[in-house]
Every structure is written in structure tokens, then in C-alpha cells.
Chain A
């Protein structure tokens, strides 16, 4: 019978074995691929963030991971007591989600052409023109895209689409579920739902409309796939000065959403580099936000959203399926 202590000891020793150097060919190949890969605009990379932590913990964690990485280079078979390890430290916020990929992700993502969002492993990658179904999003839906769209996340709380070519090459769509208004208190951006604010369509719209950190349009009634809701556009108020820990000071943020987990783990905040249109819907009693994001410049945003909105309008919710 193998004991737990035996297993831990064996794993310590066994995982210390193995190669610790990679051939130059691999790096050269990666460098070659970089020549054909464009960087994504920062506003596209606004992502769900995880619980924040204090700056000293961040610094310690960074140092610890560097130590682990460097230790791996210089020590052929590092062991826990051989290298600087971060047992007593925390790790940075905004880590990756380790959700299981969907079947679509398995079939659709080539290792030579990664397209999934960093914060999830569930996505279908590049989409062919035509009709597609979500796999893991809390309320299933289908939609139609032309060529040039990529599914970058498909998990229970969010479904993301980005365009990569065509007239709306900067367009992005995110469908959000299982969210609540977050509480941005005293410069903190913790995953805490704001007390006293509901999750209905009217609650969400009223909160955005009344937020002094946002400049928003008057909400308008809409229907999407027969479901009623309200639409609003917003961007950061230039006078807003609050920011979230983990982001650069001087880069103001409005924290708007947190997830509805118990306890909530993630938050979604918005910076000065993005303009947002929310279509907030009541889908059989669940509030769903269809978000279209684009450049903060209103004219550029309007051009991009004109392209992405054809995809939004094709959404066909399949609650209960």
C-alpha cells in the first residue's frame, strides 16, 4: 500500500528529473511565427480579473516565479529545497481559468494558431462563415457570422467573439451571464457584489446610467430574439480618477461587474480606452448582457459596431435546450 507521504516523496523526486533545456530550433521557430502575428489592441484584452491582492504580495509572487523559472534553467533537476520557492507567498491576480475545453475547442483550435482567450481554455477558435452554437454558456444560443470571426471564450458566464478581418476588424462581442453589479469601494476592485443593487435589466441599466464614472447615452428599449430589454452606450468619464489595484495608477477604471459565485471570484472593469454598448435582456428571468466593444472614438465605434451588430442581431437564444 502506497501512503500519501510516499506519493509526495516520489513525485518530488520524479518531477525533478527530465530535460531542462530546449533546442535553439524551437525558439527560432517561435520567432519566425512572431513575424506573422500582430498584437491585439489593449482594449480587446480587457478581461475578467480575479480577486486582487496587495502589491507586496504581487512583488513577492513575481520574484518567486522568476526564481522558479530561472532555477529551472540553471538546475537540471530542481527540488523543493533546492530552489527559492514561494510557499509563503501569494500569486498575482488575474490568473488563468482552468475550465475544461469544450468539444468545439478540441476540434477547432490548432496548436499552430492559438486563438483562445488567455483566461479560458474553452473556445472554438476561428469560426467558418455560417451558423454556430454555444457549448458551455449558461443560456445556450446560436448565431451567424461571416468570415473572419473568432470565438475566444465559451464558458458558463461568458461567450466572446472577435472579428479579425473585414470592415469591423476591431469589433468584439461578449455575451455575459451570471453577473451582478460590483462594489468599487475606496480604490478597491474586489469581487464583491454591491449591496442594494439588484440584477434585473432595469437595475443594471439604472446603475450604469447613474454612475458618475461613466458617460452614458439615454437607454432605449430593445428586443433581441423576441426578448425585451434596454440598450445603453457608455465610456469612461474623463473626470473619473479611481483605479483598480493591479492596474497602473493613472489608468482609471470603473468596476462594473462581478460574478455570482459563492464567493464571487471575478470582476470586470472598464478603462478609458474602450467604448461599450450593452444590450441588457431578460431571457426567461435571467439577465443577459450582450456587450459590443470598440474604440473609444464615437465615429470609429459606430463603424465597428455597425459591422458587429449584424452578428448580434442573429443571436437566437435557446433557453432550456
Chain B
């Protein structure tokens, strides 16, 4: 029972904690990767989240809430890390993400490249919102609770993130048209 593992881990049993988180790391990594867009940084975020969760596990009052709590830790770590790294990567050209891509006729290579560039320009909390909404499937009110912001703020951030992505794609499309004419 996971509840038993959470309780044992909360008493300082490292082996129990390892058994507890081992089955969850792939899912956590997938969320981290989609926020951070980089395998190495997603791995770092995952490790940090696992260490923070271990360190602060005694603050978790209800063992049955471990998964929600761990997910929250991860999102916070990703936002913090993306914020720290944002300036460093801002001027780097976006590269295609690692890993297998789902075959999908509706997404061209150009689409993916544009999306990647637009996404990387977003503030980390907006990235997290888009991942929570479009990957994990949360509604704005739920995202608000996860991020600790008022629902209206979450809705406006989601709207702003969509708008920023749209602007990035439109600007990108215009630049390609201009580039083609100049060439």
C-alpha cells in the first residue's frame, strides 16, 4: 500500500521512499520535460523535486495526498528552474525536442519549430499553465489552485499564453514570407 510507504518514508525510511517514488518518475519526468523543453533540465528538475519531497515529507499531513503534493513540488521546481535558465537560453535557437514524435499529419516540422520557439519565449508560469492545461488536462480553476493564484489570474494567464503563442506563430510566419521574398 502506498499509504504505508508514505508513512514509513515520513518516519525517515529512505528505502520506503525509493519504493514509493520509483513507479512515478516517468510520469513526473514527462511533465517536467514539457515545461522545460530540455531533457537535461527536466532530469535535474525531477531530481530536485524528489530530494525536496524527501526533505519536506514530514510536512505532508495526509499520506493519501502524496501524489498531488509531489506533483505540486515538481511544478514549482520546474517554474523556478525555467526562470533561472530563461535568460541563458533566450538567445539560443530552439532545437527540435528529443524523443520520439507522434506521427501526426496535422503537425508539420515547421509547426513544431514555430511552436517550440513560441513556447520557449513564454514566462515559466505560462509554460506550466499550458502544460497543465493541454497535456495534463486541467481546467483554469484547477490550475489556479495548483499554482496558488486567483482563478481569474489563471484564466488570464492561460489566455495570455495562448495569445503569446499565436503572436509568435504569426510573427514567425510573416518573417518566413519576408525571408522568402528577400531571397
Interface residues of A (CB under 8 A from B): 1-4, 6-23, 26-27, 29-31, 33-35, 37-42, 44-47, 50-51, 53, 58-59, 61-62, 65-66, 68-73, 76-78, 80, 83, 85-93, 95-98, 100-101, 105-106, 109, 111-112, 114, 116, 118-119, 121, 246-248, 251, 263, 265
- B137 near A19 with CB under 8 A, answer no
Q: Interface size of B by Cβ–Cβ distance < 8 Å?
A: 88
CA distance A12 to B102 in the complex (A): 12
- State how many angstroms separate the Cβ of A248 from the closest Cβ of chain B: 5
CA distance A66 to B3 in the complex (A): 14
Any A CB within 8 A of the CB of B169: yes
Q: Which residue of A lies closest to B138 (CB)?
A: A86
CA distance A285 to B79 in the complex (A): 35
- A41 near B58 with CB under 8 A, answer yes
The digit string for B50-91, where 1 denotes a CB below 8 A from any CB of A, is 111011111101101101110111011101110110000000
Contact of A19 among B76, B100, B136, B141 (CB under 8 A): B100
- A2 near B166 with CB under 8 A, answer yes
Chain B residues in 8 Å Cβ range of A19: 29-30, 33, 39, 98-100
Interface residues of B (CB under 8 A from A): 10, 12, 14, 17-18, 22-31, 33-34, 39, 42-48, 50-52, 54-59, 61-62, 64-65, 67-69, 71-73, 75-77, 79-81, 83-84, 97-102, 104, 106-107, 111-112, 115, 125, 128, 130-131, 134-139, 141-142, 145-150, 162, 165-166, 169-170, 173
Chain A residues in 8 Å Cβ range of B139: 86-88
- B65 near A92 with CB under 8 A, answer yes
- B12 near A33 with CB under 8 A, answer no
- State how many angstroms separate the Cβ of B116 from the closest Cβ of chain A: 8
CA distance A74 to B73 in the complex (A): 22
Given contacts A8-B162, A30-B46, A90-B145, contact A69 B24 (CB under 8 A): yes
Chain B CB within 10 Å, residue with most, of A12, A100, A111: A111
CA distance A47 to B17 in the complex (A): 22
Contact of A93 among B29, B34, B106, B145 (CB under 8 A): B145
